[in-house]
Chain A
Amino acid sequence: MTSARRAPAGQLDAEAIRKDFPILDRTIHDDTRLVYLDNAATSQKPRQVLDALSGYYERSNANVHRGVHVLAEEATALYEGARDKVAEFVNAPSRDEVVFTKNASESLNLVANMLGWAEEPYRVERDSEIVITEMEHHSNIVPWQLLAERTGAKLKWFGLTDDGRLDLSRIDEIITEKTKVVSFVQVSNILGTANPVEPIVRRAQDVGALVVVDASQAAPHMPLDVQALQADFVAFTGHKMCGPTGIGVLWGRKGLLDDLPPFLGGGEMIETVSMHSSTYAPAPHKFEAGTPPIAQAVGLGAAVDYLSAIGMDAIAAHEHAITEYAVRRLAEVPDLRIIGPTTAEERGATISFTLGDIHPHDVGQVLDEQGIAVRVGHHCARPVCLRYGIPATTRASFYLYSSMADVDALVDGLEHVRNFFG
């Protein structure tokens, strides 16, 4: 695909891209330029996505899969068209492997519940083991804790090294013959670490365990190929990749989706219903009870078109360059300690840090006054903060519209923070 926004030599033109995002034009606090560095929490939306949302509501709004009138058929075509786009975006072998959910949390909860109610050999039960990692977002910890509590299964996890990587040295003791499922994050939302998928998948396959990958921080930023990953399930969310909130994705292998039981029951997910029993629609509809987030799916389809036109390789290269520059500039700030990998290798463009004894809340507040939006706190990954003995971090996260000037603004802003509390 070609695009005006793709500059020569595979580099993207961040300045041209910024023009697609109306919000990046606004000023805050009396004419201060907005420097939006909270992309790991949610991304901003390009005009193309906003137009798809309003266009859907203005022209085609109807419920899906149940009417014979023109609007119902248009809405259904748009909703299912979005599924096609997402399937192509992640290189899924079949469009029926793409389940729409509300967000990545719901996708992960859906898998945990499928496995709790499944028949053998997938069923998680008393003598089963579940494996996660210490760098998971709470959304990939709590559903497994709930499943473990309800079934009596044992929850195990990979710890972290001092430099913010997964400690895989005991992989054969952690993933064992008892392991039914291994669920881990591809790119950490707090450390920025990009994890090695291949050795974990290989070990899981050796013992017959299912593999779930939380790709929430990967799908927006790099090419995602579910066939190359070789996982069984991949979860991600729309709003972090230029799409609207309220739409998430669970990709699952077709054979598994056919075999595993539904979680939520209701309209849309059935084949026939009597007062005694029901039979279910085939996947993916089996897992989409009730009226789905239709406009949001359409918006995600537009987001996927937008990202694909620019090129995920180009976006990844752009973010890598920004990360290289950011870790170098941040190293110049006195008392700043990066929590996570300190080089741009095998990491995403999300950088957490502490600044001397100044609490992240105070750092974030003084940065905000200068128009710089960062996230502060434990980033829904409290075990990581405990692991590194810190209460919280300040996190700057970049995206395709971020520029080197944004990095400079952050570094200047941090200097101001140090003076303010110094």
Chain B
Amino acid sequence: MKLDSMYQEVILDHYKNPHGRGLREGDAEVHHVNPTCGDEITLRVRYEGHTVADVSYEGQGCSISQASASVLNELLVGKPLERAEQIQGTFLELMQSRGQLEPDDAMEDVLEDAVAFAGVSKYPARVKCALLSWMAWKDATAQALGEGAAKEKTG
């Protein structure tokens, strides 16, 4: 059945047993919504130097948006910022591929579980669901490191 290409077992697992869900202390918090469908996420990032120390989140939405946030947490926490940005960029590229991109080994190495979202990129209406938390993370990171830099200056 074609649906299985979207609802991969990995995605359903993350949806049913999300990683790192719940809001914890952070350096910055953002709230992003998907206005066409009402998916919402509140996401906080905490940095130790330039390492992603934590990504915590709370939200409501479909299985794709919720599983995507869980995968994000699993992939990015503990990574240096540069590596996290590379993963985010690769995920963005995959999701914007309209199903045309067949992930190769190099991409699978970068994306790990997130490669399961390849099938979602065939469904234009659902791409925004998959990207919601990743765009929120990017926004929160910009805010957190912007403020951090300001602190360093005043300190």
Contact = CB atoms under 8 A, between A and B. Distances in A.
Contacts of A29: 2
A166 B123 CA distance: 38
B2 A361 contact: no
Interface string A353-380: 0000001111001100100000011100
A392 B38 contact: yes
B1 A391 contact: no
B6 A361 contact: no
B64 interface: yes
A421 B3 CA distance: 12
B40 interface: yes
A385 interface: yes
A376 B3 CA distance: 18
A421 B12 CA distance: 8
Contact of A359 (B2, B3, B62): B62
Contact of B3 (A366, A378, A382, A385): A366
A377 B126 contact: no
B90 interface: no
B67 to A, nearest CB: 11
Nearest to A359: B62
Interface in A174-212: none
Nearest to B7: A420
A359 B126 contact: no
B60 interface: yes
Given A369-B1, A369-B3, A420-B7, A362 B38 contact: no
Given A359-B61, A361-B129, A365-B126, A377 B37 contact: yes
Contacts of B36: 377
A307 to B, nearest CB: 31
Interface string B20-39: 00000000000000001111
B61 A361 contact: yes
B89 to A, nearest CB: 26
A37 B84 CA distance: 43
A365 B37 contact: no
A360 B65 CA distance: 12
A41 B62 CA distance: 21
B38 A385 contact: yes
Contact of A377 (B38, B60, B65): B38
A366 B123 CA distance: 13
A266 B38 CA distance: 39
B1 A376 contact: no
A362 B62 contact: yes
Contacts of A378: 37-38
Nearest to A385: B38
Interface string B62-97: 111110000000000000000000000000000000
A369 B36 CA distance: 21
Contact of A361 (B1, B3, B12, B126): B126
A418 to B, nearest CB: 14
Contacts of B61: 359, 361, 391
Contacts of A362: 62-64
B95 to A, nearest CB: 16
Nearest to B66: A359
A392 B37 contact: yes
Given A369-B1, A392-B37, A361 B64 contact: yes
A66 to B, nearest CB: 40
Contacts of B6: 365
Contacts of B62: 359-362
A392 B38 CA distance: 7
B117 to A, nearest CB: 14
Contacts of A366: 3
B129 A391 contact: no
A412 to B, nearest CB: 16
Nearest to B129: A361
Interface string A14-29: 0000000000000001
Given A361-B61, A369-B2, 5 more contacts: A359-B60, A361-B37, A369-B1, A391-B61, A392-B37
Interface of A: 29, 359-362, 365-366, 369, 376-378, 382, 385, 391-392, 420-421
Closest 6 CB pairs of A and B: A361-B62, A359-B62, A392-B38, A377-B37, A369-B3, A391-B38
22 contacts: A29-B2, A359-B61, A360-B37, A360-B62, A361-B37, A361-B61, A361-B62, A361-B65, A361-B126, A361-B129, A362-B63, A365-B3, A365-B126, A366-B3, A369-B2, A382-B38, A385-B38, A391-B40, A391-B61, A392-B37, A392-B38, A421-B63
